[in-house]
Amino acid sequence: GHGGGRSDPRDHRDVRSGGGDLDWFAGLAGQVPPDYLGLDYCICCSLPGTKIGALIGRGGEHVAEVQRVTGAQVSVAKKAPNEGIEAFRQVTITGQLLSVYAAHLLLMKHYNDEEAQFAAATSAGDRDRDRHHRGGGGGG
């Protein structure tokens, strides 16, 4: 044996390849017996505490939307009183199988949207700071 890796590297999906992945995922879901799809499932993930606010949305709007659209229940662990900046919080998603995965997908979209906005704001701030430090031209 060669450890716990995949048996065939061609099994790995390159998610950048576009719409074909949706067909691939639908194909996998189609292989699951319908009886299994109706059962309740739970998945958990840990995310940086500093990003939880963006994930939840103002007044919980993102979580409410995800629950309404998917039918899954989403709960986020409460902030510990002594929670530091490095802390992670657990997000728990429960519901029928496809609902759970759909909810996770939408939550990750909110999470990554926030990451992209943060990165854009940070690089814009860097550009402003660089322009300021270079002096921006001036008289002579």
Question: What does the pLDDT look like over 42-96, one tens digit per residue?
Answer: 999 999 999 898 899 999 999 999 999 999 999 999 988 888 889 999 999 999 9
Q: What pLDDT, on the 0 to 100 scale, is given for residue 19?
A: 67
Q: Would the pTM count as exceeding 0.75?
A: no
Instruction: Note whether residue 9 is domain-resident.
Output: no
Instruction: Note whether residue 75 is domain-resident.
Output: yes
pLDDT surpassing 50 at residue 9: no
Angle, nearest 10°, between helix axes 61-70 and 97-134? 150
Contacts of 73 (CB under 8 A, 6+ apart): 67, 93, 94, 95
Q: What pLDDT, on the 0 to 100 scale, is given for residue 35?
A: 95
Q: Contact, 74 vs 92, CB < 8 A? A: yes
Instruction: Note whether residue 104 is domain-resident.
Output: yes
**Cα→Cα distances 84→50, 55, 60, Å:** 9, 18, 22
Q: What pLDDT, on the 0 to 100 scale, is given for residue 114?
A: 83
Instruction: Note whether residue 18 is domain-resident.
Output: no
Residue with tokens 């802390």: 87
pLDDT digits (tens, 9 = 90+) for 95-121: 999 999 999 999 999 989 888 888 888
Alpha-carbon distance 105 to 98, whole Å? 10
Q: What pLDDT, on the 0 to 100 scale, is given for residue 2?
A: 46
Domain that holds residue 72: 32-131
Across 96-116, b (16+ Cβ under 10 Å) vs e yields bbbbbbbbbebbeebbeebee
Give how many domains the chain has, as a whole number. 1
